Amino acid sequence: MGYYTYYKLEISPRYTKEEELKLTLDIAKFFGLRDEVTINTHFDDFLEEEIKWYDHEENMIELSEKYPNYLFTLSGEGEESGDIWRTYFKNGKCQRVEAKIVFDECNL
Cis amide leading into 68 (omega within 30): no
* Distance of alpha carbon 6 from alpha carbon 27, whole angstroms: 16
Minimum mean pLDDT range among 2-6, 28-32, 96-100: 28-32
Q: Which tops the pLDDT comparison, 34 or 63?
A: 63
pLDDT of residue 19: 84
Highest mean pLDDT among 7-16, 41-50, 71-80: 71-80
Amino acid type, 20: E
From residue 17, give the alpha-carbon distance in Å to each of 52, 66, 84, 100, 105.
28, 17, 31, 36, 48
pTM, entire model: 0.80
Q: Who's near 103: CB < 8 A, 6+ residues apart?
A: none
**Structural domain boundaries in the chain:** 5-98
Helix (H, G, I), strand (E, B) or coil at 79: coil
| Residue 91 pLDDT exceeds 60 | yes
Q: What is the mean pLDDT of the chain?
A: 85
